[in-house]
Structure 1
Amino acid sequence: MAVRRPRNTPTFASLGLPDPLVSALAARGVTTPFPIQAATLPDALAGRDVLGRGRTGSGKTYAFGLPLLARLAAHPAPRRPGRPRALILAPTRELAAQIEASISPLAAALSLRTLTVFGGVSAGPQVAGLRAGVDVLIACPGRLLDHLQNGHANLGAVEVTVLDEADHMADLGFLPAVRKLLDQTPRRGQRLLFSATLDAGVDVLVRRYLTNPVTHSVDTAAAPISVPHHMLHIERQDRLAVLVELAAAPGRTLVFARTKRRARLLTRQLVEAGVPATELHGDLAQGARSRNLTAFAEGSATTLVATDIAARGIHVDDVALVVHADPPAEFKAYLHRSGRTARAGATGTVVTLMTGDQVDGVRHLARQAGIAPTTTRLRPGHPLLGEIAPGPRTLVAPPPAGEQKRATRRGGPHASATVPRGQAVSRAGGGGRHAATPTARRSSGAAEFSAGSRVGRSRRSR
């Protein structure tokens, strides 16, 4: 049966994308361009330099990946050791890996080879991949500079250069490395720069490296995110109980913490309370970071507790709830964190937990972000929590302390057997006010925690 499209809705074919790529996208269930793709593809396919501005989750990977692949496929060339034909620079390892996961199947359909290069892992396989020849190199700046300085890579044959999340590159202090890399790419090459904002550092890159660029702005970071935003005014001692009540609902929950130490602490507290949780932050080795992110994406861990390392470029389907357990310091971080939900047309909800001393700062942050949140003062067991995160609450038995520590080091989820709904999670010495006990009562379709309960604060947190 033919698919009916609204009038004037562009297709990838009508935007000029070659048939092999259109077919490869269709095979992956991608048939309708996102606005940022529809806006930028004609100019990028025509060989123009493009500055694309759109918030995270707006579909930028295909916006630069598709014209890049189309250009390389239209002009085949033999692979040469260490000399990629296209370069994509990304600020974080996770983003680089996700870009590769998105475009490598499309590249393979065109007989093009991709390679990802970043730190935190052995350089040996990367050196071997470069030596074997690669068409598209996806890299973080630091490790790529190492390969260039050691003679394993040369950027003199790059035809297309992409900077993804350029503003995040600036925030992380990568611009000097980015400039060194761009200086080694041919001036005649095409350059595509994508950024959620155009700050001073990014503007320097645009003026120095892009030639008469065409600018397209779609869903810029200053625009409100069209999902429900809730600011929950809580007592400090209720923070964990409210967080458990939200995270124990069905669906994936992404919790943001202010520091690496806070992320570790909250993860352990959630696991002890019965929430299958794992963590993502800069203190983890790359292997553990990858395993933990996979556990969250595949569902063995339903909650991911992360620092702002996960606020940009990390894509996991169907994140139902983003919780700012620690409010961010500035509005751009709020928008990028919140952009982890309601991606690619899906729905989601954003919650900020704030104590009395944080109320003024969070309200100021909301005004800067351009959102109009619903603010509610509540305690654990409040009916609104069942409306924000509907469905029955499910807790699991936490693993022994030693096993939990080993799981943290090696990566992956920290939880084990499921506990039947309506039963308490028991642990030695864990009765009374430290038991996580959902009542049998249902409200708004959700199991509620008793308003007087407190959940699993560890000895260290007391």
Structure 2
Amino acid sequence: MNIITRKPLLIMNTHSFSSLGVPATIVAALTRAGIDSPFPIQIDTLPDTLAGKDVLGRGKTGSGKTLAFSIPLVARLSGELSGGSRRASRPLGLVLAPTRELATQITNAMRPLAEAVNLRVTTIFGGVSQTRQVQALREGVDIVVATPGRLEDLMGQGLLHLDAVEMTVLDEADHMADLGFLPVVTRILNATPNTGQRLLFSATLDNGVNKLVDRFLHNEVMHAVDEANSPVTHMTHHVFDTPSAESKKELLYALASGTGRRILFMRTKHHAKKLAKALTQAGIPAVDLHGNLSQPARDRNLAAFSDGSAKVLVATDVAARGVHVDNVDLVIHVDPPMEHKAYLHRSGRTARAGAEGDVITLCLPTQKSDLSTLLRKAGITVAPISVTSRSPEVLALVGEVAPYVKPMPAEHQHHGGAHRGKGTSTGANAQRNRARRGGTSQTARGRSTQTSRTTRTGGGRPNTDTRRSQQR
């Protein structure tokens, strides 16, 4: 294996997509999407992937891996690997992802490129009816982006065949291993032609990922952008010690009250749902994301978080690899994770694509020892500090406080939904329509650390003594 390791911040980016060999039609599609210059992992891998080599790409979250494999997949399948006429149920390209959220994100990023060269892309995952997925396959698709379970199910029904696949991509291979998908992935790869090009992207090579590499990649080139577990350089880590559950609750509500996007991580589905509901009732619109939600509820909640109608997403680890929303100011580990990889994956939801971000871990006295061990394994050096909801360090991270939003009556609330408005209810139908539109705001919000103090009454929110800059 040829191994090329780079530290992206040491690279002076003088490259363009055209200089890396990307076809002009795809460069134009990237430009229309506002993407003008490649990231380091794209600079490193594109010459090899476009040349047809098997590539093992290792890079931290937010490093640009999705385009690193989407560009060559679309470019090669529309060119030298066109394969003739489109055939029903026999795609030419296959992308495997561990979660339905990530599969959807990949499809959304890839589709504008594919449409520019007349390729069809469809997404296949479980948790929803297979009818539309089967119909898309029968009509003929060029690229399938799928989670392993539903894909194997359709193969078993004879509704999908992989004997024409020319390029296969495994994204977040280490997470697929963590979820127990490796046996299924192995069976799927065995169903693809051994002569096809294969790209594997992973943050680490443990938990059996190296076995996939040894078995299915041939004369591969490995591109490692920074070390395997390195934290994002523009990410600042904080550990806030808090003496009791009640003080932790006040601190959490204060941190959730700002105007920017923030993701709060919990260990259990029940507590994630409960916290999202409590925040919303306290005038801080929040949505939850976890394994118990139906696919329509997941889509609705992610749309609300993306379009800004909910500034807070309360998630379990299921979302650590599947949420790709820009301009997330804060990631808050309400419950510290069990192991260091989960800490890094959760934290990677902020400071994406070169942006800055902060990661906060709330620590009770009984958690200090375990958290110290976890951070050491993650390669994070940070000095814990004791704070309250009124500490300057906390107020600086809260920034401008968002206006209070009156919650809808319980009988009109969606499961995990959030209400947008200013003191009045806009109704359930308006909320549904907003979620369906799913527009994403990419506007970065600056932080304001100018905060005066008062006591807010009403709305059921714990007293954080944090003055809201805009009153009802």
Which amino acid is the alignment partner of residue 245 of structure 1?
A
Q: 5 Å matches for 1:51-70?
A: 51-70=56-75
Which whole-Å CA distance do the structure 1 matches of 2:13 and 2:309 have between them?
42
In the alignment, which residue of structure 1 is the partner of 2:456? 424
Q: In structure 1, what is the equivalent of residue 17 of structure 2?
A: 12
- Say whether 1:397 aligns with 2:406: yes
Mean CA deviation greater in 389-398 or 142-151: 389-398
Q: Which moved more, 1:163-172 or 1:393-402?
A: 393-402
How many angstroms does 1:392 deviate by? 2.9
Change (3 A) 1:263 1:415: farther
**Residue pairs, 1:198-347, within 5 angstroms:** 198-226=205-233, 227-234=235-242, 235-347=244-356
Deviation by residue 1:16-47 (Cα, 9 ceiling, x = unmatched):
11111111111111111111111111111110
Matched, 1:139 2:171: no
1:88-99 to 2 correspondences below 5 Å: 88-99=95-106
**TM superposition shift of 1:174:** 0.5
The partner residue of 2:107 within 100, 120, 140 is 100
Distance 2:172 2:124 in 1: 17
Residue number in structure 1 paired with 2:26: 21
How far residue 397 of structure 1 moved from its aligned partner, in angstroms, is 1.9
Are 2:374 and 1:365 aligned?
A: yes
Query: Is 1:184 aligned to 2:191, yes or no?
Result: yes
C-alpha distance 397-100 of structure 1, shift in aligned 2 (>3 A): same
Residue type at the aligned position of 2:288: E
C-alpha contact 1:24 1:106 (8 A) present in aligned 2: yes
What's 1:459 paired with? none
From the superposition, tell whether residues 184 and 368 of structure 1 become closer, same or farther in structure 2 (CA, over 3 Å). Answer: same
Deviation, structure 1 residue 160: 0.1
Q: 2-side partners of 1:66 and 1:416: how far apart?
A: 40
**Which residue is 1:122 aligned to?**
129
1:453 aligned partner = none
State the distance in 2 between where 1:415 and 1:43 align.
Answer: 47
Spell out, residue by residue over 1:399-422, the C-alpha distance to the aligned partner (whole angstroms, 9 max, x if none).
223334xx11xx532565349x97
Which structure 1 segments of 5+ residues have no match?
1-5, 448-462
Verify the 8 A CA contact 1:280 1:307 in the aligned structure 2. yes
Question: Which residue does 1:3 correspond to in 2?
Answer: none
Cα distance in 1 between the residues matched to 2:122 and 2:79: 20
Partners of 1:228 and 1:373 within 8 A in 2: no
Spell out, residue by residue over 1:248-294, the C-alpha distance to the aligned partner (whole angstroms, 9 max, x if none): 11100100000101101111221122211000000000110011001
Contact 1:197 1:220 in 2 (8 A): no
The secondary structure found in structure 2 opposite 1:173 is coil
Give the deviation of 1:439 after TM superposition: 5.0
Residue of structure 1 in register with 2:37 after alignment: 32
Flag as ranges the 4+ runs of structure 1 deviating above 6 A.
Answer: none
Deviation of 1:301 after TM superposition, in Å, equals 0.5
Could you report, residue by residue, the CA deviation over 1:329-348 in whole angstroms, capped at 9, with x for unpaired residues? 11110001000001011111
| Residue type at the aligned position of 1:176 | P
Deviations 1:29-73 (A, max 9, x none): 111111111111111111000000011111001111101111111
Match of 2:431 in 1: none
One-letter code of the match for 1:228? T
Cα separation, 1, equivalents of 2:278 and 2:371:
24
Distance in 1 between the 2:379 and 2:423 partners?
41
Cα 1:424–1:298 shift into 2, 3 Å? same
CA RMSD of aligned residues (A): 1.9
What is residue 454 of structure 1 aligned with on the other side? none
| Preserved contact between residue 390 and residue 465 of structure 2 (Cα < 8 Å) | no
Q: Is the 8 A contact 1:232 1:375 kept in 2?
A: yes
Moved more, 373-382 or 42-51: 373-382
1:451 aligned partner? none
Asked if the contact 2:390/2:466 (under 8 Å) is kept, the reply is: no
Deviations 1:285-306 (A, max 9, x none): 0110011001000000110000
* Correspondence for 1:112 among 106, 119, 122: 119
> Structure 1 residues 437, 243: CA separation in 2 closer, same or farther (over 3 Å shift)?
closer
Q: 1:7 and 1:312 mapped to 2: Cα distance?
A: 29
Distance change (3 Å), C-alpha of 1:425 and 1:74: farther
Contact 2:455 2:463 in 1 (8 A): no
Task: Give me the whole-angstrom Cα distance separating, in 1, the residues matched to 2:317 and 2:298.
Answer: 14
Assess if the C-alpha contact under 8 Å between 2:387 and 2:394 holds in 1.
Answer: no
SS in 1 for 2:85: coil
Of 168, 172, 181, the match for 1:165: 172
- TM-score, normalised to structure 2, is 0.87
AA matched with 2:57: G
CA distance in 2, matches of 1:116, 1:396: 36
- Give the counterpart of 1:81 among 76, 88, 94: 88
Q: Alpha-carbon deviation of 1:436?
A: 4.1
| Partner AA of 2:375 in structure 1 | A
Cα distance in 1 for partners of 2:346, 2:12 equals 34
Q: Kindly tell me the number of residue pairs found equivalent between the two proteins.
A: 428
Match of 2:7 in 1: none
Q: Give the stretch that moved more between structures: 162-171 or 21-30.
A: 21-30
The offset of 1:163, in angstroms, is 0.2
Secondary structure in structure 1 of the residue aligned to 2:42: helix
Give the match for residue 456 of structure 1.
none
Does the 8 Å contact 2:257/2:284 carry over to 1? yes
Q: Residue in 2 aligned with 1:50?
A: 55
**Residue deviations 1:76-96 (CA, integer Å, cap 9, x gap):** 321101000000000000000
Residues 214-265 of structure 1, C-alpha deviation per residue, up to 9 Å, x if partnerless?
0000134411222111100012211221111111111001000001011011
1:150 maps onto 2:125 in alignment: no
Q: Where does the alignment leave 5 or more consecutive residues of structure 2 unmatched?
A: 1-10, 425-452
Q: Is the 8 A contact 1:397 1:425 kept in 2?
A: no
Shift, 1:369, TM fit = 1.0
